Structure 1
Amino acid sequence: MLTRTTSTLAAIVTAVVLILAGSAHAQDDPSIAPPSGQCENKDDVCWNVTDPGKDGGKKPAGQKGSTGGGKKQKCVVGDKPVPCYSKDFGYYSHGCYLKKADPQPPASDPAWDGHKPGDGYVVEETCFGAGGQTQTLGWMAEAPGPGAAVDPAVLAQEALGKMTLKPADIHVAPKPGNKGVVGLPVWVWTTKSETTWGPNTASASAGGVTVTVTAKVKNIRWSMGDGSSVTCSTPGKAYKAAYGKRVPDEARGECGTDGYTQPSSTKDGGKYTITATSTWAVEWTGGGQSGELTETRQAQAQVTIAEMQVLN
């Protein structure tokens, strides 16, 4: 049965996601896969498409993992190949098929979703799931075709690539170049900015779908170079002379440490290397979907710690 709707492309993508995410069995059951699953009918066409996958696409500098141009694969449901194009149903996209309605409905049809004929297209969307075949009508700015459908997760990666996510802008007390003393507090903090702490926001759009990504630092793990570390969920506070030679209770948790127990002369180069690992929590939303990503960035600084000199 054909159900007329006023779905825009974003809603169409949402429907696709709900079918795929809500029915894991549908992905694995060939009996409910689209017809002509062998991709051999003369009226069906299969071709290789780029799937960014877990390691695909361009990554921002500093991101963990490997780079790559994407994994080549055929259109599949589960591990079963399906036609990327069907004469009857149109172009395959994330578990459903999209086809320009022919003929296009009259201007009074609610499927136009407020648009007029000539402004985009009314599209037939056919989905195959555990409940059988469903078909809806919705509006799209562009006619379906190879690569016409939009994957919000891919747009999220594109938006993320537009961001500048930097490691901590490290500040240390005692300052690099000065000497600290064994047993005295050591303070570490970062400049708080859009690129070193967040929030940092960027968007990417395609095919009428816009995905917005927001990133902010969840925490910074400060590895002090002597085997100890402190994890802070704040940028930290700059050292004040009023703090003196101890970390006041009200300042604990702000990345002040009780200092070193051994001089840095025991280390190569005579310095402790402090490593700040920023964990960026990245949230994205758009096209009826949302998700989370994680990015890490690292920066280092060195500090000299000397023995306390006792005068007789």
Structure 2
Amino acid sequence: MIGPSPDLNEWKIAAVGYPLWLWTDGTTNPAPVTDSVYDISVGLDAHLVKVVFDMGDGHKVACTDVSREWTADVAAGAESPSCGYRYPKPSLPRGSYTVTANAVWAIDWNVNGTTGTIPFYQSATTKIPVGELQVLVR
């Protein structure tokens, strides 16, 4: 997720240089799962390692804490305390930047005392128009 959303301003864009907050929806640390069948005991415990945001402009942001989401209560222009980005250049008039969030998970497993870790990857994309705002002083 990206906030503040461009839909909240009259221009419907994210502004160059304005701090954006990056976060994920959903749980990043689900409860462990165990089960037994006959004499086989299996346990799984997944946790989010990091999220790498490909910002669509050639820059990437890697974050290990993606739990702090932007809300309307956040002061205007406030930096994210955990994961954020400022676009240095506009995407407009050519279009929008495609932002891809690549989540890296580690799934720890245990089968009758034998253990290991399985990496798991998830991706999601969104588009964000980024433009420049200028002020004319007379």
With structure 1 as the length reference, what TM-score do the two structures score?
A: 0.39
CA distance in 2, matches of 1:287, 1:226: 47
CA distance in 2, matches of 1:245, 1:216: 31
Larger fraction in strand? 2
Which ranges in structure 1 are unaligned for 5 or more consecutive residues? 1-170
Out of 230, 246, 256, the residue aligned to residue 84 of structure 2 is 256
CA distance in 1, matches of 2:41, 2:16: 54
Out of 189, 205, 209, the residue aligned to residue 23 of structure 2 is 189
Out of 35, 39, 44, the residue aligned to residue 208 of structure 1 is 39
Number of equivalenced pairs? 132
Q: Who is 1:173 aligned against? A: 3
Alignment partner of 1:261: what SS? coil
1:176/1:299 CA distance change after superposition, 3 Å: farther
Please report how far the alpha carbon of residue 275 of structure 1 lies from its aligned counterpart in structure 2 after TM superposition. 0.6
Q: Deviations over 1:107-136 (max 9, x none)?
A: xxxxxxxxxxxxxxxxxxxxxxxxxxxxxx
Q: Deviations over 1:14-45 (max 9, x none)?
A: xxxxxxxxxxxxxxxxxxxxxxxxxxxxxxxx
1:266/1:228 CA distance change after superposition, 3 Å: farther
1:176/1:183 CA distance change after superposition, 3 Å: closer
RCO higher in 1 or 2 (8 Å CA, sep ≥ 6)?
2
Residues 198 and 217 in structure 1, CA contact (< 8 A), matched pair in contact too:
yes
Larger fraction in helix? 1
Out of 100, 121, 124, the residue aligned to residue 275 of structure 1 is 100
Q: Who is 1:233 aligned against? A: 64
Read off the aligned partner of 1:237 and give its amino acid letter: R
Matches within 5 A, 1:117-136: none
Out of 77, 80, 86, the residue aligned to residue 245 of structure 1 is 77
Read off the aligned partner of 2:110 and give its amino acid letter: T
With structure 2 as the length reference, what TM-score do the two structures score?
A: 0.83
Q: Deviations over 1:72-107 (max 9, x none)?
A: xxxxxxxxxxxxxxxxxxxxxxxxxxxxxxxxxxxx
CA distance in 2, matches of 1:282, 1:242: 34
Read off the aligned partner of 1:174 and give its amino acid letter: P
**Amino-acid identity (%):** 29
Residues 96 and 130 in structure 2, CA contact (< 8 A), matched pair in contact too:
yes
Please report how far the alpha carbon of residue 281 of structure 1 lies from its aligned counterpart in structure 2 after TM superposition. 0.7
Q: Deviations over 1:201-235 (max 9, x none)?
A: 33454441111111111111111111111111112
Q: Tell me how large the CA RMSD over aligned residues is.
A: 2.0
Matches within 5 A, 1:136-155: none
CA distance in 1, matches of 2:88, 2:26: 30
Q: Who is 1:41 aligned against? A: none
